[in-house]
């Protein structure tokens, strides 16, 4: 049976659009994902990026939670160096009170931004990235049952036992997740270079915990699916151009598709040798690539992100990917945008 699929959204702001537009599309996508049987809908914290509107992640998760009823909602992730552990516990304790049994807390140690914005967020850059494991433990303690005489109690948050995930793109996150007995989400959708080393370390060193008895790995993948391979390659050009601009140090709002960015002639054929794990094509192409990815990695779950300018085409891409879970490669004709 295929592994579960989940959704990672960045609430993309389109060229010429607004954050308000992006939030409406995010909720529409979450509702669509819930209908299609996706397991979770996660939002990621980024700052100082004109094309990403999910900076106030917990606030936007409340918007999504209020418009859905079953799908799990969570962070992919909260960048813990930007926040005090108590603040994170209170925010996600609030979400857990509003949407009981549906909330995940994914924690990462990257800044999610550039140095100038990191300083504006934290007022200092003196925090120690190596202190990340201690901060995770502190967040978990605030979400646990309060101890007698505990001087600071997260209200809400204490006793909520919100499941905590560790996010990473290197072996550091794998070591933290293994030592604490937490599920591990690896960012192969934008940094797959250390994927196999990280998974090996995580699985070999995993220590069972109250939250998790055996290792559990979720891997990120970009998926752009359409009726034909050429259609999908054209739609994927928006994401390629956006990523190129980001790497050049000039992030932009998500541009419309362009023939100029349809293909990279220097891109390796092997998805795991690329700078980003991406599956682009028709239903048959994408489903086959997913099969191979799972066979090679042994992932327990895949979290999908899709940078497509046209909202109807984006919803359709998630429909095509979801059909893989039921092994139904004969996808029905495109549904109307909801």
Q: Do residues 29 and 319 make contact, with C-beta atoms less than 8 angstroms apart?
A: no
Question: Could you tell me the two tokens for 215?
Answer: 């290792």
Domain boundary among 145, 162, 179: 162
In this structure, the answer to whether residues 1 and 146 fall within a common structural domain is: yes
What's residue 106's pLDDT? 98
* DSSP assigned state of 210: S
Q: Do residues 221 and 186 make contact, with C-beta atoms less than 8 angstroms apart?
A: no
What's residue 332's pLDDT? 39
What's residue 121's pLDDT? 60
Domain boundary among 116, 144, 162: 162
* DSSP assigned state of 255: P
- pLDDT tens for the chain, 338 residues long, are 579 999 999 999 999 999 999 999 999 999 999 999 999 999 999 888 899 999 999 999 999 999 999 999 999 989 998 899 999 999 999 999 999 999 999 999 876 455 665 666 655 556 666 789 999 999 999 999 999 999 999 999 999 999 999 999 999 999 999 999 999 999 999 889 999 999 999 999 999 999 999 999 999 999 999 999 999 999 999 999 998 888 888 999 999 999 877 666 556 565 555 557 999 999 999 999 999 999 999 999 999 999 999 999 999 999 999 999 986 444 433 333 32
In a domain, 325, yes or no: yes
In a domain, 87, yes or no: yes
Distance, CA of 324 to CA of 307 (rounded, Å): 19
* Strand partners for 184: 166, 217
In a domain, 181, yes or no: no
What's residue 172's pLDDT? 95
In a domain, 312, yes or no: yes
In this structure, the answer to whether residues 111 and 17 fall within a common structural domain is: yes
What total number of domains does the chain contain?
2
What's residue 243's pLDDT? 87
In a domain, 203, yes or no: no
What's residue 82's pLDDT? 87
| Cis previous bond, 278, omega within 30 | no
In this structure, the answer to whether residues 228 and 296 fall within a common structural domain is: yes
Distance, CA of 119 to CA of 268 (rounded, Å): 37
- What percent helix, strand, coil does the chain show, rounded to 5? 45, 15, 40
In this structure, the answer to whether residues 287 and 157 fall within a common structural domain is: no
In this structure, the answer to whether residues 3 and 147 fall within a common structural domain is: yes
Domain that holds residue 69: 1-162
Handedness of CA 78, 81, 84, 85 (dihedral sign): positive
In a domain, 171, yes or no: no
Q: How many CB atoms lie within 10 A of CB 39?
A: 18
Sole residue written with tokens 């991406």: 278
Domain boundary among 119, 141, 162: 162
In a domain, 14, yes or no: yes
In this structure, the answer to whether residues 54 and 142 fall within a common structural domain is: yes
What's residue 180's pLDDT? 98
Closest by Cα among 100, 108, 126, 97 to 57: 108
Dihedral-angle region of residue 62 (phi above 0 means left; psi in -120 to 50 means alpha; beta otherwise): alpha
The number of residues making up the chain comes to 338
In a domain, 208, yes or no: no
Distance, CA of 289 to CA of 303 (rounded, Å): 14
* DSSP assigned state of 207: -
Question: Could you tell me the two tokens for 327?
Answer: 């092994």
In this structure, the answer to whether residues 125 and 30 fall within a common structural domain is: yes
What's residue 246's pLDDT? 85
What's residue 69's pLDDT? 98
What's residue 2's pLDDT? 78
Closest by Cα among 162, 164, 40 to 96: 162
Give per-residue burial for 219-257: e unless 16+ CB within 10 Å, then b: bbbbbbbbeeeebbbbbbbbbbbbbeeeeeeebbbbbeb
pTM of the model: 0.90
In this structure, the answer to whether residues 10 and 85 fall within a common structural domain is: yes
In this structure, the answer to whether residues 145 and 226 fall within a common structural domain is: no
Q: What's phi and psi for 271, nearest 5 deg?
A: -60, -30
Q: What's phi and psi for 164, nearest 5 deg?
A: -105, 135
Closest by Cα among 261, 242, 259, 321 to 287: 321
What's residue 126's pLDDT? 61
Q: What is the CATH number of the domain that holds 25?
A: 3.20.20.30
In this structure, the answer to whether residues 128 and 18 fall within a common structural domain is: yes
């Amino acid at each position: 049976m295929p592994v579960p699929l989940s959704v990672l959204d960045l609430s993309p702001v389109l060229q010429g659009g607004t954050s308000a537009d992006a939030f409406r599309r995010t909720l529409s996508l979450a509702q669509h994902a819930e209908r299609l049987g996706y397991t979770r809908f996660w939002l990621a914290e980024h700052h100082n990026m004109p094309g990403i509107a999910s900076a106030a992640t917990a606030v936007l998760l409340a918007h999504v939670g209020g418009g859905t009823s079953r799908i799990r909602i969570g962070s992919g992730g909260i960048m813990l160096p930007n926040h005090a552990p108590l603040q994170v516990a209170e925010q996600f304790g609030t979400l857990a009170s509003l949407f009981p049994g549906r909330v995940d807390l994914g924690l990462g140690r990257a800044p999610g931004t550039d140095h100038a914005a990191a300083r504006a967020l934290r007022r200092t850059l003196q925090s120690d990235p190596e202190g990340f494991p201690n901060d995770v433990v502190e967040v978990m303690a605030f979400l646990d049952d309060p101890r007698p005489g505990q001087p600071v109690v997260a209200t809400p948050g204490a006793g909520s036992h919100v499941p905590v995930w560790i996010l990473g793109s290197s072996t550091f996150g794998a070591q933290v997740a293994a030592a604490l007995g937490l599920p591990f989400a690896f960012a192969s959708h934008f940094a797959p270079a250390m994927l196999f080393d990280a998974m090996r370390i995580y699985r070999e060193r995993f220590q069972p915990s109250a939250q998790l008895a055996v290792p559990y790995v979720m891997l990120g993948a970009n998926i752009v699916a359409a009726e034909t391979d050429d259609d999908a390659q054209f739609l994927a050009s928006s994401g390629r151009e956006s990523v190129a601009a980001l790497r050049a140090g000039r992030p932009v709002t998500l541009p419309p598709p362009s023939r100029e960015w349809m293909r990279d002639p220097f891109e390796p054929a092997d998805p795991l040798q690329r700078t980003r794990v991406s599956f682009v094509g028709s239903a048959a192409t994408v489903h086959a690539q997913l099969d191979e990815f799972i066979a090679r990695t042994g992932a327990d779950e895949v979290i999908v992100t899709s940078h497509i300018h046209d909202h109807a085409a984006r919803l359709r891409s998630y429909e095509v990917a979801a059909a893989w879970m039921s092994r139904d490669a004969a996808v029905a004709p495109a549904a109307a945008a909801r």
